[in-house]
């Protein structure tokens, strides 16, 4: 595995540090008036989700790990395990639904999921950035309510609550950003 200097760490990099796999969440490069420059890095453990703040000097060497990304199709969920199919080999794998975290409700039948593997261990799964959902409950449109930044609460078919513009009504399909849980546009 390639070793990189402490000042080359970027957000999103996966590092092998303290006998664990860590993803760099936030990186601040600090140049104090006295002493050498360093990178203040916020790390998240890919196996258990714990966080760690670490200081790396430019002379420090860290192992950068490359994760293998595979596109896999979601088939169904069985007792807390997601059953996914590799679209190249048609092999089925079972992964814990905790890999998706709070984005789990946006997972739909047949959806393509990008799973990141380290050797044979699945460490992370990500959904498409935009997903189409149906509004099942929202307030009716109030005539004359045309304020530019007014939003109203809505409940989607997957149970997630989002804010939508006043012109969006019940039983309409909308596109939602799965990272920010925000309304994007009408479908």
At residue 12's C-alpha, the angle toward residues 8 and 13, to 5°, is 45
Residues paired with residue 184 on neighbouring β-strands, in sequence order: none
Determine contact, residues 4/61, Cβ cutoff 8 Å.
Answer: yes
Q: What is the token pair recorded at 86?
A: 């590799």
Residue pair 176/184 in contact (Cβ under 8 Å)? The answer is yes
In this prediction, residue 157 carries a pLDDT of 93
Residue with tokens 């990304």: 69
Helices and strands per DSSP (H, E), number in the chain:
0, 16
Question: Taking a C-beta distance cutoff of 8 angstroms, is the pair 28, 39 a contact?
Answer: yes
Supply the pLDDT for residue 150.
79
More confident residue, 100 or 159: 159
Q: Categorize the per-residue pLDDT at 180 as very low, low, confident or very high, splitting at 50, 70 and 90.
A: confident
pLDDT of residue 83: 92
- pLDDT tens digits, 142-176: 666 665 667 889 999 999 999 998 888 889 999 99
162 compared with 120, residue with greater pLDDT: 162
Residue 158 token pair: 């997957």
Is 70 exceeded by the pLDDT of residue 1?
A: no
pLDDT tens for 16-75 read 988 888 888 889 988 888 888 899 999 988 888 789 999 998 888 999 988 899 999 999
Quote the DSSP letter at residue 33: S
What's the CA gap between 117 and 16, in Å, rounded? 14
Count the neighbouring beta carbons within 10 Å of the beta carbon of residue 186.
13
Say what the pLDDT of residue 34 is. Answer: 86
The predicted model gives 93-119 an average pLDDT of 88
In whole angstroms, give the CA distance from residue 35 to residue 137.
59
Q: Are 163 and 174 in contact (CB under 8 A)?
A: no
The whole-chain average pLDDT of the chain stands at 87
152-156 and 161-164 as β-strands: parallel, antiparallel, unpaired?
Answer: antiparallel
| The pLDDT of residue 19 | 86
């Amino acid at each position: 595995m390639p070793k990189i200097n402490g000042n080359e760490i970027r957000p999103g990099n996966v590092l092998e540090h303290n006998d664990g796999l860590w993803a760099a969440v936030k990186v601040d490069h600090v140049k104090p008036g006295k002493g050498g420059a360093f990178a203040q890095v916020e790390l998240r453990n890919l196996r258990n989700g714990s966080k760690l703040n670490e200081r790396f000097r430019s002379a420090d060497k860290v192992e950068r790990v490359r994760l293998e990304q595979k596109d896999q199709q979601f088939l169904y969920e069985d007792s807390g395990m997601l059953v996914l199919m590799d679209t190249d080999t048609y092999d089925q794998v079972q992964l814990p639904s905790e890999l998706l975290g709070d984005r789990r409700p946006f997972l739909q039948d047949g959806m393509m999921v990008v799973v990141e593997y380290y050797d044979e261990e699945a460490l992370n799964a990500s959904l498409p950035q935009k997903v189409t959902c149906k509004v099942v409950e929202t307030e009716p449109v109030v005539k004359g309510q045309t304020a530019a930044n007014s939003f109203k609460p809505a409940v989607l078919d997957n149970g997630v609550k989002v804010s939508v513009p006043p012109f969006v009504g019940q039983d309409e399909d909308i596109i939602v950003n799965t990272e920010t849980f925000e309304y994007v546009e009408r479908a």
